[in-house]
Structure 1
Amino acid sequence: MGRLTGKVAIVTGAASQAEGLGNGAATAILFAREGATVVLVNRRANQAEELAARIRAEGGEAVAFAADVTEPEAVEAMAAFTVASFGRLDILHNNVGIGGRLSTPETIDLADWQRVFETNLTSALLCCRACIPRMRTGGGGAIVNVSSLAGVIGLSGSPGAVAYATTKAGLQGFTLSIAADYAAENIRANCLLVGTVNTPMVSRLGADALERRRKSVPLQTEGTGWDVGHAAVDLASDEARWVTGVMLPIDGGFLAIRQWPR
């Protein structure tokens, strides 16, 4: 405990949109447990307020901030609020993401393509653009972007994830660019490649599909938001001060290990 004491963190897409614990909520809770003051960003304030109340009930520090992170003005207001309220900004956790409709280049609607890009990739650009100058003023910072195995293997459990896979691959390149451009200013950027984690976003798939996902993982266990959150804590902490530009799989060994047929 205390690995993030004295730090101020922004977590976008912090509160789960359905019942259960998502990656953003787990990360925010763990950041607070490790001593960070956490700004919980969601489009709808009521969900972020509920998460903030949960964190405060544990003795942590958290506040909700309503913002659509695809809107430049809202993102700038988010960063300005954080520094005005707490005096600094040390950690940015870009967690916002949507799947979009299953489609291929032949079938995708252009409006859906643009919506997925704005949510998954442009939001990260806007948040970094607003937060990096504040991090620089404080002497550095840590950025953690949340990507997906779909950005590596091109699939998202079902065929036809062209927009989602493209944006998640783009987020990895974006992370490397940030890491390279700002390393000399002590601003680190790393990326989590999240595998078949059971979150509210995928719970609608049903029990059979979730069981197939579990069996596809070499460790033969189901990932949770806590697994993602613990990795985010590691990368955000000063213990990772010499780690930047890393693509860290949180996937039960899926990318690294290929099982023999059983």
Structure 2
Amino acid sequence: MQGISADLKGKVAIVTGAGSRPGEGVGNGRAAAILLARAGAKLVLADAVPEWAEETRRMIAEEGGEALTVTGDVTKPEDCAAIVAAATGRWGRLDALVNNVGISGPKGTAEEVDPEEWAHGLLVNVTSMMLMAKYAVPAMRAAGGGAIVNIGSVAGLKGGHPSLLYPTSKGAVVNMTRAMAVHHAKDRIRVNCVCPGMVYTPMVQAKGMSAEERERRRRRSILQVEGSGWDVGAAVAFLCSGNSRWMTGAIVPVDAGATAIAALPSG
């Protein structure tokens, strides 16, 4: 059927947080960027750490893809504008935005959390996505439409997280996605959200995790299979492609079924 295609040839996509710190496997942003490139898209790889983004660019180029890197802080409006300008300046259009930047943020309950750290956590996890969309939407409108994918978390779908900032900010991303989907539908811009579960990425490794804890995480789902950045990236690539042309405002858990159940079956 016309319009149903995973092919992104001729399309241009921005991925924020497109680098990946050293470690086993790849981060969500790097995986998404590589998979988008494999589908034919040209990539703008934005990251605050230039060497991490450059490694993603190298990996894409090694497979015959085309990408450029932009060093920037997505909490700053001028950097967000520059990231979008890099896409339109090089290729004359923008078709997809993947808002991938996020941090764990400060620990603690409402009683314990530091207010300044709380404000910074919301700035990184929520406001940065608004800022990127602020500059990306006009460019997508000029291209005839596009797709925005916000990276949330299963922590934004249910309670039980030991800290207040992370689930609060990710819950905001979920409803921001729904609101943006309504606002920009008239411009043929689809807005969806991917909510990863407990995937094992270099960022997770950097925080330190015992083999026992890693095994407990694996078992806290229906499939009981460990996820990786590639699983998240595959969902992102799908939501940017024509295969998802009838999806907007969707909240997509990528979590091996962890949010589908109240408790794991015994035995």
SS at match of 2:258: coil
Mapped pair 1:176 → 2:168? no
Aligned counterpart, 2:260 = 256
Mapped pair 1:115 → 2:120? yes
TM-fit CA distance, 1:2:
6.2
Residues 14-37 of structure 1, C-alpha deviations (whole Å, 9 max, x = no match):
111332310011000100111100
Q: Which moved more, 1:43-52 or 1:118-127?
A: 43-52
Name the aligned partner's letter for residue 180 of structure 2. I
SS at match of 1:143: strand
TM-fit CA distance, 1:202:
1.3
Mapped pair 1:29 → 2:34? yes
Aligned counterpart, 1:7 = 11
Residues 1-55 of structure 1, C-alpha deviations (whole Å, 9 max, x = no match):
9621111000000111332310011000100111100110001212111110111
1:241 is matched with which residue: 236, 241, 245? 245
Question: Structure 1 residue runs of 4+, over 6 Å off?
Answer: none
Aligned counterpart, 1:144 = 149
Mapped pair 1:16 → 2:20? yes
Taking structure 1 as the reference length, the TM-score comes to 0.96
Q: How does 1:90-239 map to 2 (within 5 A)?
A: 90-156=95-161, 159=162, 161-203=163-205, 204-239=208-243
CA distance in 1, matches of 2:6, 2:62: 17
Q: Which moved more, 1:90-99 or 1:53-62?
A: 53-62
Would you say the 8 A contact 1:2–1:33 is kept in 2? Answer: no
CA distance in 2, matches of 1:168, 1:90: 24
Structure 2 portions without partners, runs of 5+: none
SS at match of 1:201: helix
SS at match of 1:142: strand
Q: Give the alignment's Cα RMSD to 1 decimal.
A: 1.3
In structure 2, relative to structure 1, the CA distance for the partners of 1:47 and 1:56 (3 Å cut) is: same
Name the aligned partner's letter for residue 126 of structure 2. L
Would you say the 8 A contact 2:220–2:264 is kept in 1? Answer: no
Structure 1 portions without partners, runs of 5+: none
Aligned counterpart, 1:78 = 83
Aligned length: 259
SS at match of 2:181: helix
Q: How does 1:34-73 map to 2 (within 5 A)?
A: 34-73=39-78
